[in-house]
Amino acid sequence: MIDNYLLEELVTFAKYKTLARTAAELNVTQPTVTRGMQKLEDELDVPLFDRQPNRITLTKTGKLAAEKASTLLQANQQFVTEIRNYAHNQRILKIACVAPGPQIVLAREQQQLNMNIEIEHRLLPNGQVEAGLLNHHYSLVITNQEIQTDLIESRYFGPEHLYVNLDQFMYLANQRQVSFKELAGLSFVVLNEIGPWKQIIQDHIPNAKFLYQAEYDSMQELTKYTNFPFFTTNITNPNEVYNTDDSVMIPITDEAATMTFYAAYLKSQRSAIAPLTKKLVSVWPKKL
pLDDT at 176 over 90: yes
In a shared domain, residues 277 and 241: no
**46-69 average pLDDT score:** 87
**74-100 average pLDDT score:** 78
Of 225, 230, 224, 196, the residue nearest 212 (C-alpha) = 230
DSSP SS3 for 95 = strand
259-282 tens-digit pLDDT: 999 999 999 888 888 888 888 888
In a shared domain, residues 99 and 153: yes
pLDDT at 67 over 70: yes
DSSP SS3 for 228 = coil
pLDDT-derived band at 32 (thresholds 50, 70, 90) equals: confident
In a shared domain, residues 181 and 152: no
* Angle in degrees, 0-180, between the axes of helices 60-91 and 4-16, rounded to the nearest 10: 120
**252 within some domain:** yes
Question: Within a 10 A sphere around the Cβ of 187, how many other Cβ atoms?
Answer: 10
Residues 6+ apart with CB under 8 A from 27: none
CA dihedral over 57, 61, 64, 70, signed as positive or negative:
negative
φ, ψ (nearest 5 deg) of residue 19: -65, -40
**266 within some domain:** yes
Q: Which amino acid, residue 155?
A: R
φ, ψ (nearest 5 deg) of residue 58: -80, 140
pLDDT at 191 over 70: yes
List helix spans (H) across the chain. 4-16, 19-26, 30-44, 60-91, 100-113, 129-134, 197-204, 216-225, 238-241, 270-283
How many domains, the chain? 3
In a shared domain, residues 11 and 77: yes
Rounded percentage of the chain residues whose pLDDT exceeds 90: 38
The confidence score (pLDDT) of residue 157 equals: 86
Measure the CA–CA gap between 228 and 236, rounded to whole angstroms: 17
- Domain with 231 in it: 159-258
* Angle in degrees, 0-180, between the axes of helices 30-44 and 19-26, rounded to the nearest 10: 100
**86-111 average pLDDT score:** 81
Which of these ranges, 59-73, 178-192, 232-246, has the smallest mean pLDDT? 232-246
Say which CATH number the domain at 174 has: 3.40.190.10
**288 within some domain:** no
Question: Within a 10 A sphere around the Cβ of 97, how many other Cβ atoms?
Answer: 25
DSSP SS3 for 286 = coil
